[in-house]
Structure 1
Amino acid sequence: MRPNIVVIQADQMAAQALGAYGDPAARTPHIDALAADAAVYDRAYCNTPLCAPSRASMMTGRMPSDIGCYDNGDDFAASTPTFAHHLRAAGYHTALVGRMHFIGPDQHHGFEQRLTTDVYPADMDMVPDWRRELDDRLQWYHDADAVYTAGASQATVQQDFDDEVSFRTLRHLNDRVRANQAAGERIPFLMVTSFIHPHDPYEPPQEHWDRFEDVHIPDPAHPEVPDPAQDPHSHRLRAMSGFDQRETTDEEVRRARRSYYAAVSYIDDQIGRIRERLETLGLAEDTVIIVTSDHGDMLGEKGLWFKMSPYEESSRVPMIIRGPEHLVPQGRYENPVSLLDLMPTLLELAGTDPEVASTGSPEEEIAPARRGLSLLESARRERSGRSGPEDRDVTIEYLAEGTLRPQLTLVRGQYKLVVCPGDPDQLFDLVADPSELRSVADAPEHAEVTASMRAQLEAQYDLRGLEAEILTSQARRRLVAEALQRGTVRHWDHEPDPEQRYVRGDFWGALQHGQIRIPQGGAEGAA
């Protein structure tokens, strides 16, 4: 029997801020309980630390540059297959609840239903300009003010949005049971629920802020900004967000970090409610739950906040898969994986060929570091000893605001190489230097590793050609965006279909359809 699949994605939720990943300050009991009997990937990376291109890459199993989604102002082509297309073609009901930051007129990308609008606009409002000075700031840039003003709020746009996402998610699970009752058979479903928390601004509900009243949340371990001669990218990010204009105080940092942890605790509550509803409806035993994020958050490390950086705090994400043991090999796994791997994972669970999902077609050749591998297969290989941390590279791109040229990162075993034309190469030994404080790219004893990893990146990418493509794309999209703001303006934002949910037409039939009986003897077996 093919399982139901529930993917729960948070925005900007760093792996290091969860109890399941070893943080004693976290208050994430529901995620921790989920992880206790799940497959947990300790080194899962996003493939670009920015919202829209990360999600497009995750949904297609392809790198952002391969699908032309460079930044948060780039349209996602409707002709590019996603995991929602594949599962829908395989007979799954597919639904998206919440945020996915699709840019462009296609706001479904294979989902049969989309139950909420997005929290950000779908237009080309966020097109970077690499020819613009970084201190000539565009209005949508991340802003240091989010750190200076962090704290609890009674109501915010993000709270309103996520409260709706949670409500719609729980009701959609009811609807899947109703659909099975009406059809007289079990129809497997994919539901992707995507929240905006704990994304900045850091404004959690008071209830979750209060949970940390007596909790010691450590300060950033290494708040010092790296040497600009060795790491100009971090200084560009600080200048873009305004952190070079005003230093944060210790109290501001602590309030922002507490707010972030409180927002993560809010997400944990929503995950608990979803699991409880699955149990109540009798869906839990044949449903696979996946918890992840689109990228992390620096949270003051190295003087940085938000994402956009190749450092671990920004580029690592949680990846937790809980399901029946015959489908999901439970345990903790150390081999590097990435969000590219989610698409072939879902297709394996659905009984569809993951090889086709990794490329779009069986004939298309894509470099191994730029294609996905089922996370279940990765776990099997690691468990059997057929694959170790050095046997599969993970590639991370950054092609958006805050840089002036393409930045590429390669993770291989204990090493991470960061390359950006005009910047010095950085090589970090994550075993000897887990905080990434000292680049060893110029160290003679690491010369062979640096050369090998750089050669791998150069084999995958034409950096000069990629830079030219991105600059051309930026100019083209700026022209389109400016033109579309003149005259009659038609936005691409998704507007959910009006629902015929309550009593209409067949009076008694509508009441009967809406009813989910509690079975004799308890709630189990309701579906």
Structure 2
Amino acid sequence: MRRTESGRRPNIVLIQADQLAPHHVGAYGAEAARTPHIDELARGAAVFDRAYCSTPLCAPSRASMLTGRLPSDLGCYDNGDDFAATEPTFAHLLRSAGYHTALVGRMHFIGPDQHHGFEQRLTTDVYPADLDMVPDWDHPLDRPLQWYHDVAPVLDAGASVATVQQDFDDEVVFSALRHLNDRARADQAAGERQPFLLVASFIHPHDPYEPPPEHWERLADADIPPPAHPEVPDAEADPHSHRLRQMCGLDRRPPSPDDVHQARRAYYAAVSYVDDMVGRIRARLEALGLADDTVVILTSDHGDMLGEKGLWFKMSPYEQSSRVPMIVHDPWGLVPQGRFANPVSLLDVLPTLLELGDVDPPPTAQGLSLLESARREQAGTPPTDRDVVVEYLAEGTHHPQVTVVRGPLKLVVCPGDPDQLFDLDSDPDELHDRVSDPELAEAAQSMRAQVESRYDLAALGESVRASQRRRTLVAEALSTGRRRPWDLVPEAEQRYVRGDFWGALGYGRVRSDARHGGASG
């Protein structure tokens, strides 16, 4: 049941970090992590231990999450690809069903539509909304494009008093807290409650690894673990990892052990910084009397390799890059509590939010509600009841890469590269490719057949290349002469005293006993 007997629907706060791998969060077993607020959130929540992104890259991963569709189906392949305004998102669907919907912070929308169904968007993005990051699969990887990931953030990691990313996330949390005030004000003025969706999205712990000094010092006594397996995989068996290393310059300027330690400490500190933001949002929900009516979800768009297998950042099908945290805290009891091992996906966010809001998903949605996944697991449905797909169609490859996760098995397919098959139960660090193992031959064949039945990889590759050529032409044209960027410029709000002196002051007041009044009634 998605509503209470009175027909009320929960508020939803979705908190998204950028490049946050669950491997570095206390709730997922990271002993060095300083994440008390996330850990507390997880204690009374559904925690999904094997949640995957749809693609380990920011813009297409987020577009996929918002629509419940894979990037290849959206035609949104990379960080320089526009996200069509005609694609229904969970913001459109919840808004149509009576929710107030707001986005605060990062979402990496490319194109002129910077709202995608959200009634309000309260901050601009930290990255440009234009076609500035279009890959070129025919461009040599040893001659990187200007915006490619580079090894420099690893070599230069450390505390910084002020950075672009700190400024952005400080603005995000401020705007998120003020927006929660505004939702309480609106309910108070109307005398009734309107359910809301708030997406608060942060850029940390995304590189550059430059946390505030306060958070850097929190890790001063922490035993930051080194990469468990920093050795680079064999080039013949795993050419994709070597392409990524070449593209990022890791092969030419390999980080020293001290560089690696500094960067990992900085990353852990940035995770602690995000944890503070989670704590501040939950505290404001409590202060406003909204916590008992609000489902809080924490996730990320992808992870970070952090030196494992000689790789950094994302773009890899390995677990540190492709897995994300997924924690659903529900005070109404709509979501089963506990730890869940079934593989799930960011595709599942849309049907989850729609089930919470009592809204039917569109026929195009490909995910499964996390509520349903948890119910199935509690009923004894084995983890092999569905395949989770991770695509990669951006820089660092020359052909589409498709990864299929089926229970404990993971198959990686990319034309021109050898297939890889890992058994994550016996080999969680993905060190032993078992694609030629006779014991797993039948499973490998079945999973390969699943890829071939769903994809024409040659045709998809041509579609990606054609898209790159079109967008490059358009980007070059739009950069000539007078430029009109698509970046969002937030609207000025009338929130202080203008005109009705006492009315403005009265509307803005939310008493500390709001939980007993109209704001949360």
| TM-score in terms of structure 1 length | 0.96
Instruction: Extract unaligned runs of 5+ from structure 1.
Output: 361-370
2:204 matched to 1:210? no
Question: In structure 1, what is the equivalent of residue 421 of structure 2?
Answer: 427
**Equivalent residues of 1:517, 1:526 under 8 A apart:** no
1:504 aligns with 2:498: yes
Q: Give the match's secondary structure for 1:262.
A: helix
Q: Which residue of 1 aligns with 2:378?
A: 383
Alpha-carbon shift at residue 438 of structure 1 (Å): 1.3
Structure 1 residue 523: Cα displacement: 8.1
Match of 1:42 in 2: 49
Q: 1:384 to 1:492 in 2, by over 3 A?
A: same
| 2:191–2:518 Cα contact (<8 Å) kept | no
Q: Name whichever of 317-326 and 203-212 sits farther off.
A: 317-326
Pairwise mapping of residues 43-442 of structure 1 onto structure 2 (< 5 A)? 43-354=50-361, 356=362, 359=364, 371-385=366-380, 387-442=381-436
Alpha-carbon distance between aligned partners in 2 of 1:307 and 1:251, rounded to the nearest angstrom: 21
Q: Given the alignment, which residue of 454, 476, 483 partners 1:482? A: 476
Contact 2:101 2:118 in 1 (8 A): yes
Distance 1:32 1:102 in 2: 30
Cα deviation code 1:500-527 (max 9, x no counterpart): 110001111111111112239x989863
Deviation at 1:136, TM superposition (A): 1.2
Which residue of structure 2 aligns with residue 365 of structure 1? none
**In structure 1, what is the Cα distance between the partners aligned to 2:148 and 2:106?**
19
Counterpart CA distance in 1 for 2:99 and 2:510 is: 21
User: Which letter maps to 2:158?
Assistant: G
Match of 1:364 in 2: none
Q: Deviations over 1:400-421 (max 9, x none)?
A: 0000000000000110000000
Aligned equivalents of 2:282, 2:333: Cα separation in 1: 20
Q: Secondary structure at the match of 1:327?
A: coil
Change (3 A) 1:269 1:95: same
Residue 507 of structure 2 corresponds to which residue in structure 1?
513
Whole-Å separation in 2 of the counterparts to 1:430 and 1:93? 41
Amino acid at match of 1:359: T
Report the CA distance between 1:431 and its aligned residue.
1.0
**Counterpart in the other structure of 2:439:** 445
Paired position in structure 2 for 1:470: 464
Relative to structure 1, the CA distance from residue 504 to residue 524 in structure 2 (aligned partners, 3 Å threshold; closer, same or farther) is closer
Question: Residues 181-206 of structure 1: CA distance to partner in whole angstroms, max 9, x if unpaired?
Answer: 12121010000000000000000000
Hey, what's the Cα distance between the residues in 1 that align with 2:223 and 2:331? Answer: 36
Contact kept? 2:191, 2:519, Cα under 8 Å: no
> Is 1:33 aligned to residue 40 of structure 2?
yes
Q: In the alignment, which residue of structure 1 is the partner of 2:15? A: 8
Distance in 2, matches of 1:41 and 1:178, equals 34
* Structure 1 residue aligned with 2:489: 495
Does the Cα contact within 8 Å between 2:64 and 2:346 map onto a contact in 1?
yes
SS where residue 344 of structure 1 aligns? Answer: helix
Instruction: Quote the sequence identity (%).
Output: 71
Q: 2:448 aligns with which of 454, 470, 482?
A: 454
What are the superposed Cα offsets for residues 427-486 of structure 1, whole Å, 9 maximum, x if unpaired?
A: 001111110011111122221111110000100101011001001000000000000001
2:85–2:116: 8 Å Cα contact kept in structure 1? yes
Which secondary structure state, in structure 2, belongs to the residue aligned with residue 418 of structure 1? Answer: strand
Alignment counterpart, residue 21 of structure 1, candidates 25, 28, 34: 28
After TM superposition, give the deviation of residue 394 of structure 1 in Å.
0.1
Equivalent-residue separation in structure 1 for 2:430 and 2:406 (angstroms): 15
Structure 1 residues 511-520 or 398-407, which shifts more?
511-520
Give the secondary structure class of the aligned counterpart of 1:395.
strand
Partner of 1:390: helix, strand, or coil?
helix
SS at match of 1:511: helix
Residue pair 2:409, 2:424 contacting (<8 A) in 1 also: yes
SS of structure 1 residue aligned to 2:475: helix
Conserved 8 A contact 2:420-2:433: yes
What one-letter code is carried by the residue in structure 2 that aligns with 1:321? Answer: V
Distance in structure 2 (CA, Å) of the matches to 1:169 and 1:88: 18
What amino acid sits opposite 1:242 in the alignment?
A: G
Partners of 1:287 and 1:323 within 8 A in 2: yes
Deviations 1:288-309 (A, max 9, x none): 0000000000000000000000
Distance in 1, matches of 2:121 and 2:267, equals 28
Structure 2 unaligned blocks of 5 or more:
1-7
Between 1:82-91 and 1:508-517, the stretch displaced more is: 508-517
Answer yes or no: is the 8 Å Cα contact 1:8–1:289 preserved in 2: yes
Residues of 2 paired with 1:67 and 1:392: CA distance?
A: 21
Equivalent-residue separation in structure 2 for 1:226 and 1:519 (angstroms): 59
| Equivalent residues of 1:141, 1:241 under 8 A apart | yes
Corresponding residue for residue 4 of structure 2: none
Q: Which amino acid is 1:21 matched to?
A: Y
- Tell whether the 8 Å contact from 1:282 to 1:525 is kept in structure 2 after alignment: no
**Contact conserved, 1:49 with 1:309, CA < 8 A, in 2?**
yes
In structure 2, distance between residues paired with 1:144 and 1:503: 50
In structure 2, relative to structure 1, the CA distance for the partners of 1:413 and 1:120 (3 Å cut) is same
Paired positions, count: 513
Q: Judging changes above 3 Å, is the alpha-carbon distance between structure 1 residues 523 and 209 closer, same or farther for their aligned structure 2 residues?
A: farther
Secondary structure of 2:499's partner? coil
What is the rounded CA distance, in whole Å, between the counterparts of 2:9 and 2:16 in structure 1? 22
* 1:214-247 alpha-carbon deviations (Å, 9 max, x no partner): 1101100000000000000000000000001012
Give, in angstroms, the shift of residue 325 of structure 1. Answer: 4.5
Specify the alignment match of 1:363 in structure 2.
none
Residue 324 of structure 1 deviates from its aligned partner by 2.3
CA contact (8 A) 2:293 2:332 kept: no
Tell me the distance in 2 between the aligned counterparts of 1:488 and 1:298.
40
Separation of aligned partners in 1, 2:259 and 2:376:
45
Between the aligned partners of 1:162 and 1:480, the Cα distance in structure 2 is 31
Letter in 2 for 1:15: P
